[in-house]
Structure 1
């Protein structure tokens, strides 16, 4: 892979400085869900594995980059159908690039073999490496963490504050999820049947064979590719992690909290209390559940663009 660094745009391109060299291409996980707005690339990490990412083609030169970190059972594909809405909402669209990456063990990213390779610190370190690879030292990045991705993103911002221009926590609670009897039963089912239960539980009437619907086929392929070690380790993290709200407030990084009005994962008091401690007003989306990027994409896109414009240059 070429050494990453600044590079002057070639003759015939714009005179805008290139922030990084292009990352090497990778094969997409499934059919394109982004309406042709992204390309798939690989991010080589220092531990030897590659994380896959989806990026808009202007990511090497755009003045601003928005980086999406996916949640539990998710991957970069959770944002592909959302990116066209963001591109429409961002003005001028060519000045901002969008990127989502699959965390270790998710979908087609590298899958370390052991339980000990999926500590919260490992996920945070991977995200730091992604920031470095996309030139965040030259153009601090707006980070959006969805659900478990927000748990990672909080610690990413604290670990590398100079690389993070702003932080958006999308349906991501500051405190662990209560371990109900239903949650414990689902976890035992996951241990028994493996990662494919993610697909089977979402589409119980469908067989485990290629599907014509590209969204459904993505869920099926992702369930087969995602590491069981990843799922079990993240489930354990979600049940026991520290509240870092006070540290975030002290760091002075601009933060936005957003969630759907019908989000069932964390109690809404968890979101509202964190916002109060940070001195901000949360943004809620009527008609959205835990994944506003899917349920109310236009409303989320506009809310994100409004927040980024307030952060300034």
Structure 2
């Protein structure tokens, strides 16, 4: 889970509803400063939300990109059904395709953080023509590390048995272990994190957790995606094993970024550096595929 350090909206940012052919989604929509180079669609991770990208929106928009961060169905401020079937991988992927179409800017750069990377990969496979490039940020392919599998199983089990408020308190206790004195979250962030947990559908949390635990390796699928591909993560990534991410980048020929000093959420801890890496990749992708031509990778 990413935890924003501030909830302040960057300049030129609107919180709004994106109306698509598959329903409405809550988004943060940031207009570029000056001329527009393109549009990027950002998908958050497990137990996360669009606010995970708040620190990244400003630097990306300053570089000339329209940036739209979205809550997926049943996630935080986006409505979602209660039924389990609604949160299968293909359904979530088709939502993303519909979101890209509703933005009205043609093919968009797609980025998925953590669990969002699994959804982004499926969306790019389902409709590659909707996207100009694909970035997996702190995300597989491959299985999540064993401590994270244990954590996801525990959360899914608790949600099936306990009121969400009790699950929230237990999650906060687990998150607090190992924190240094003075590093506790500010009260407004704690309030936000609780509200996000309370608003997110249990079916979404259970479905996303199931996909994290049982998602296929995905390397062959990713290799077949006919888009410029970028695999990025922090040097201290702990949800996916770093060697498996490096091997995936080498196997697929992806553009490869390692953010030194960052953990699972470079979007929060190192937004300026990450923005520079992302825009450099996007500009390269645009030079190689200026009209969305899907003939290969840079």
TM-score, with length taken from structure 2: 0.82
Q: Where do 1:127-146 residues align within 5 Å?
A: 127-136=96-105, 139-146=106-113
**Which structure is higher in helix share?**
2
**Residue 253 of structure 1: CA displacement?**
0.8
Question: Could you tell me whether the CA contact under 8 Å between 2:145 and 2:239 is conserved in 1?
Answer: no
Aligned to 2:296: none
- 2:92 equivalent to 1:117: no
Q: Gapped runs of 5+ residues in structure 2?
A: 1-5, 177-184, 291-298
Question: Could you tell me whether the CA contact under 8 Å between 2:20 and 2:102 is conserved in 1?
Answer: no
**Residue 100 of structure 1: CA displacement?**
0.6
Distance 2:164 2:30 in 1: 29
Aligned to 2:19: 44
Report 1 or 2 for greater relative contact order, CA contacts < 8 Å, sequence distance ≥ 6.
2
Distance 1:298 1:63 in 2: 18
Q: Gapped runs of 5+ residues in structure 1?
A: 1-30, 206-210
CA RMSD of aligned residues (A): 2.5
Question: Could you tell me whether the CA contact under 8 Å between 1:34 and 1:82 is conserved in 2?
Answer: no
**Residue 213 of structure 1: CA displacement?**
3.9
Q: Where do 1:54-203 residues align within 5 Å?
A: 54-57=28-31, 62-88=36-62, 90=63, 93=64, 96-136=65-105, 139-177=106-144, 180-196=149-165, 197-198=167-168, 201-202=171-172
Question: Could you tell me whether the CA contact under 8 Å between 1:76 and 1:101 is conserved in 2?
Answer: yes
**Residue 163 of structure 1: CA displacement?**
1.5
Distance 2:233 2:53 in 1: 15
Question: Could you tell me whether the CA contact under 8 Å between 1:51 and 1:102 is conserved in 2?
Answer: yes
Distance 2:94 2:27 in 1: 16
Aligned pair in 2 of structure 1 residues 307, 199: CA closer, same or farther (>3 Å)? farther
Distance 1:57 1:214 in 2: 26
- 2:231 equivalent to 1:264: no
**Residue 252 of structure 1: CA displacement?**
2.9
Question: Could you tell me whether the CA contact under 8 Å between 1:73 and 1:198 is conserved in 2?
Answer: no
**Residue 195 of structure 1: CA displacement?**
4.3
